[in-house]
Amino acid sequence: MAILVTPNTKVLIQGITGSFGARHAQLSIDYGSQIVAGVTPGKGGQFFEHGGKKVPIFDTVAEAARQTGATASAIFVPPPFAADAILEAVDAGLELAVAITEGIPVNDMVKVKRAMAGQRTRLIGPNCPGIVTPGTGKDSQGGCRIGISPGYIHKKGNIGVVSRSGTLTYEAVWQLTSRGVGQSTCVGIGGDPVNGTSHLDVIKLFNADPETTGIIMIGEIGGSAEEEAAEWIKANCKKPVAGFIAGTTAPAGRRMGHAGAIVSGGKGTAEAKIAAFKAAGIGVAVTPSEMADTLLAMM
């Protein structure tokens, strides 16, 4: 089953004619994802061509979804316009919007979160690598790749991965694949302070997914999302979970990498998150290189 996306998910790309969006549209097509439409205002009627595939471009998300049956969107729109792009996907009734864009103003995302309340669309991101459900073909092709994750490192299997960090997502996936262990779905939720889908949201989906038999959860300093997920895992999760927290040496008050990675007012420290993990029975990897081995030892 996997979660959120399958090889049958029809995907449109907002910002497909920009250099970044175009490059990752090509990679997703090569991976075997069903890229059925692009959206760039003013370029409706044109086509995005790659590998013998002609992807129609539309002026609006609503028109693209109506004409192609797309249910998910990858958003490669510059920061000043990205919030409107997310809301356009919401207004079109898409099931999933994956916002790759980094640098969206926090105030814009607060407005997006308020506007999305009660809507059917699930948002992953912003400032995230996206989501991959691996397929079974060569280099795991034939799955669904939405975003910027390197498809070739994935292998179809039964381990779910959720992370705030893009590069640590890739590290965990590659460690698993290198050991011959595949993944059900890998979700990079992004490192911004205001995002759409949390660790807990994804953990609940993995816990309910019969195809997922183990979970790697990667967090970092800042906020309390990891502690909230750990509390739920302790009371409810039926599957082994291993975790890693980045930022153990970060000084208080200094933002480290992601906009949300900051210890403020003594809260959001790596030590507190690690303690919450241990209290919940989550296996804690001391270094990033031990993430896969920590979970496999538990299993």
Which pLDDT tens digit goes with each residue over 108-141? 999 999 999 999 999 999 999 999 999 987 777 7
pLDDT at 260: 55
Given 109, 124, 139, the domain boundary residue is: 124
- pLDDT for res 288: 95
Q: Say yes or no: 191 and 287 in one domain.
A: yes
| Residue 271 counted as domain residue | yes
The pLDDT of residue 265 is 54
**How many independent structural domains does the chain possess?**
2
Q: Considering the domain boundaries, does residue 210 fall inside one?
A: yes
Domain co-membership, 248 together with 179: yes
In-domain check, residue 129: no
Q: Would you say 254 and 208 are in contact if contact means Cβ atoms under 8 Å apart?
A: no
Q: Which of 24, 154, 199, 258 is catalytic?
A: 258
Yes or no: say if 285 and 242 are a contact pair by the CB < 8 Å rule: yes
CATH of the domain at 75: 3.40.50.720
Tell me the angle at which helices 291-298 and 166-178 cross, rounded to the nearest 10 degrees: 50
- pLDDT-derived band of residue 222, with 50, 70 and 90 as boundaries? confident
Residue 263 has a pLDDT of 55
| Residue 148 is assigned to a structural domain of this protein | no
In this predicted structure, what is the pLDDT of residue 256?
A: 58
Do residue 110 and residue 159 come from a single domain?
Answer: no
Q: How far apart are CA 43 and CA 72, in angstroms?
A: 20
Instruction: Tell me how far apart the alpha carbons of residues 277 and 269 are, in angstroms, rounded to a whole number.
Output: 13
With respect to residue 119, please indicate whether it lies within any of the assigned structural domains.
Answer: yes
50 is catalytic: no
| CA atoms of 136 and 126, how far apart (whole Å) | 28
pLDDT in tens, 245-264: 987 766 665 555 665 555 55
- Note if the bond before 210 is cis, omega within 30 degrees: no
User: Do both 191 and 242 map to the same domain?
Assistant: yes
pLDDT-derived band at 219 (thresholds 50, 70, 90) equals: very high
Helix (H, G, I), strand (E, B) or coil at 138: helix
Mean pLDDT of 42-61: 97
Across the range 189-200, mean pLDDT stands at: 94
Range of the domain at 176: 155-298
Assess whether 34 and 120 both reside in one domain.
yes
Cβ neighbour number for residue 178 with a 10 Å cutoff: 11
Helices marked H in the chain — which ranges?
Answer: 19-31, 61-68, 79-91, 106-116, 166-178, 199-208, 225-236, 270-279, 291-298
pTM over 0.85, yes/no: yes
How far is residue 84's CA from residue 171's CA, in Å, rounded to a whole number? 32
Distances in Å between the alpha carbon of 228 and those of 35, 52, 126, 225? 35, 47, 20, 5
